[in-house]
């Protein structure tokens, strides 16, 4: 662990036993001489000594990790993702194992997975009106029910096509196992450098998900004739209303989300267990089917 001796705690108190676990963690951190502070759900950093923080605990499900990443990834603070939820593709540390894994990390024995994040910019009539970030995905969809929207998509300045669909998902490799895979998109290794562009229920069946290099900027333009409302949703948690002719720029962030003990091995184990992959993974090559 770095010389800094502070820890942030992002806690989803709606999760069972999250309060007890948070108390257990703060007590142990105090014993180790590490100060701990809870991140206020609607507050800012004004009273938080971030310059003294070298780790952030995420107590909840994957959604809590996403919130923490958007909040602190740009500051280079690694996230210790304890799974108090259910699915846990990102939140990989079991509550019963947190202290053992944390002690291993303090000793430099645990890997850090560095995940691609997006920086999002909304441009309206030539002016930037929103800047934001996300770890999983940026989704552009109709704000009403069963409304088809028209979008033009460019890769840097190369037109990729005009989409008429229920929406469009632009996902990171981390987000490939979220909304994108439910919409028929591919699963990517979480540490690969690539971006998924995946239309949601496209009007033309020939429209298929594509994967492009991460260094490209994806530009999505809302058709000027668009009549129904359009929303941009980041990580399924943050929404922004879009207008006709708005341009959404999605590019690779200059920083990564750093996840402690949530590496590729953990990811593939989650795929096998959460998605019920079958077959023999013992290395013998024999099938147990």
Cα 233 from Cα 84, distance rounded (Å): 24
Catalytic residue among 3, 20, 52, 62: 62
211 forms bridges with which residues in the sheet? 196
Cα 246 from Cα 258, distance rounded (Å): 32
Cα 160 from Cα 169, distance rounded (Å): 14
Pairing, β 210-213 against β 112-124: unpaired
Positive/negative CA dihedral, 278, 85, 201, 253: negative
62 has catalytic annotation: yes
3-state secondary structure of 174: helix
35 and 57 Cβ atoms separated by less than 8 Å? no
The full DSSP string for 96-112 is GGHHHHHHHHHTT-S-E
What phi, psi does 64 have (nearest 5°)?
-70, -40
Residues 6+ apart with CB under 8 A from 21: 59, 82, 84, 95, 98
Residues acting as catalytic residues: 62
């Amino acid at each position: 662990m770095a010389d800094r001796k502070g820890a942030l705690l992002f806690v989803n108190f709606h999760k069972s036993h999250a309060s007890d676990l948070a108390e257990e963690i703060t007590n142990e951190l105090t014993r180790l001489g590490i100060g701990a502070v809870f991140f206020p759900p609607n507050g800012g950093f004004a009273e938080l000594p971030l310059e003294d923080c070298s780790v952030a605990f995420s107590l909840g499900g994957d959604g809590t990790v996403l919130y923490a990443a958007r909040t602190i990834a740009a500051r280079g603070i690694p996230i210790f993702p304890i799974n108090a939820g259910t699915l846990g593709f990102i939140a990989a540390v079991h509550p019963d194992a947190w202290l053992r894994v944390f002690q291993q990390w303090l000793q430099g024995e645990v890997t850090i997975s560095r995940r691609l994040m997006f920086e999002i910019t909304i441009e309206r009539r030539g002016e930037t009106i929103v800047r934001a970030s996300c770890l999983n995905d940026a989704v552009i969809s109709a704000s009403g029910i069963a409304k088809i929207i028209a979008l033009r998509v460019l890769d840097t300045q190369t037109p990729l096509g005009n989409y008429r669909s229920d929406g469009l998902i632009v996902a990171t490799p981390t987000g490939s196992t979220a909304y994108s895979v439910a919409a028929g998109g591919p699963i990517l290794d979480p540490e690969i450098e690539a971006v998924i562009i995946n239309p949601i229920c496209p009007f033309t069946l020939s429209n298929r998900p594509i994967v492009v290099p991460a260094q490209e900027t994806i530009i999505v333009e809302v058709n000027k004739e668009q009549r129904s409302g359009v929303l941009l949703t980041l990580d399924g948690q943050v929404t922004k209303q879009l207008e006709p002719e708005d341009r959404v720029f999605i590019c690779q962030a200059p920083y990564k989300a750093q996840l402690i003990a949530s590496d590729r091995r953990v990811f593939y184990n989650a795929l096998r267990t959460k998605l019920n992959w079958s077959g023999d993974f013992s290395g013998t090559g024999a099938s147990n089917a």
